[in-house]
Structure 1
Amino acid sequence: MAKYIGLDLGSKTIGVATSEGYFSNPKETIRFQENNFEDGVIKLNSFLKKEGFEKLIIGYPKNMDGSTGHRVEMVEDFIKVMLEKKAVKEEQIERVDERLTTRMAKQMMISADLSRKKQKENKDQVAAKLILETYLNSIK
């Protein structure tokens, strides 16, 4: 079975989820200095080497009207650093529309009655889980 890793990229965090089937599991949140993607990629790369993977699914934050903007540029900059550092090959990357995943993640955690502190700690990895599940559902 293929192993997939889902990412929800922020300016200071990377939410990470993994899957070896149809369900994904939130794994961790990687923290780095704001907009220091080199540091983020180094930290992510050690996770990727430890876990192994076939596909890296990264949230692509389009605007609600489908256009791209500053957040998509940020993701592309991050991907460029990953490729330069050889953390991943271009053919391993899948970009997935992530509109509303952070909001859905927050709603899931509220429904699960998690404290605000737990919600803040886990929102990025839960969003990564939703991004990864979006991809998994598209390939069924």
Structure 2
Amino acid sequence: MGRIVALDFGMKRTGMAHTDEMQLIASGLTTVATPELIPFLVDYLKTETVDVLVVGEPKQMDNSASESEELIQAFLKKLKAACPDLNVARQDERFTSKLAVQSMVASGMKKKKRQDKALVDEISAVLILQAYLDRKPFI
């Protein structure tokens, strides 16, 4: 069984999270500058087996697509060309950034550390991955 990797895609940087090989525990992986994301994923796939790549799906409150969805679609097209065999799933990412900051506050993290946007993006990716795991049926 391979890992599941999740992305909190952003214009400047993308937070990443992954599971263990048993696909039970979601944990932060890193934050990557978005222009370097596809080469990073290609290298990652050389060393790790990935069953699914979960990409956050930004939606408005009325369930319509967010403005950033256009950028994500362009990324997914490039990703498909670079990694044609990679399975991609989408997961609603509404409120993940807000929940990430709340979890940082709840854990007692200092204000200076909470202002680290790369860390917020990574934690957001963990929340996206956990939401995907919560809705994924166990076999």
TM over 0.5: yes
Question: 2:2 touches 2:48 (CA, 8 Å); kept in 1?
Answer: no
2:90 is matched with which residue?
95
Gaps (5+ residues) in structure 1?
none
2:18 is matched with which residue?
18
Percent of residue pairs identical: 29
**Selected match of 2:52 from 50, 55, 61:** 55
**1:76-91 to 2 correspondence within 5 Å?**
76-86=73-83, 88-89=84-85
**Selected match of 2:43 from 29, 41, 46:** 46
* TM-score, normalisation: structure 1: 0.85
Cα deviation for residue 2 of structure 1 reads 4.1
Residues 122, 67 of structure 1: alpha-carbon distance in 2 compared, 3 angstrom cutoff: same
Alpha-carbon distance in 2 for matches of 1:117, 1:75: 30
2:101 is matched with which residue?
106
Deviates more, 1:102-111 or 1:114-123: 114-123
* TM-score, normalisation: structure 2: 0.86
Question: 1:22 touches 1:137 (CA, 8 Å); kept in 2?
Answer: no
Alpha-carbon distance in 1 for matches of 2:111, 2:41: 26
Residues 56, 72 of structure 1: alpha-carbon distance in 2 compared, 3 angstrom cutoff: same
Question: 1:9 touches 1:75 (CA, 8 Å); kept in 2?
Answer: yes
Alpha-carbon distance in 2 for matches of 1:49, 1:118: 32
Cα deviation for residue 46 of structure 1 reads 1.6
Alpha-carbon distance in 2 for matches of 1:72, 1:99: 13
Gaps (5+ residues) in structure 2?
none
Q: What is the root-mean-square deviation in Å for CA atoms of aligned residues? A: 1.7
Q: When the two structures are aligned, how many residues end up with a matched partner?
A: 133
1:118 is matched with which residue?
113
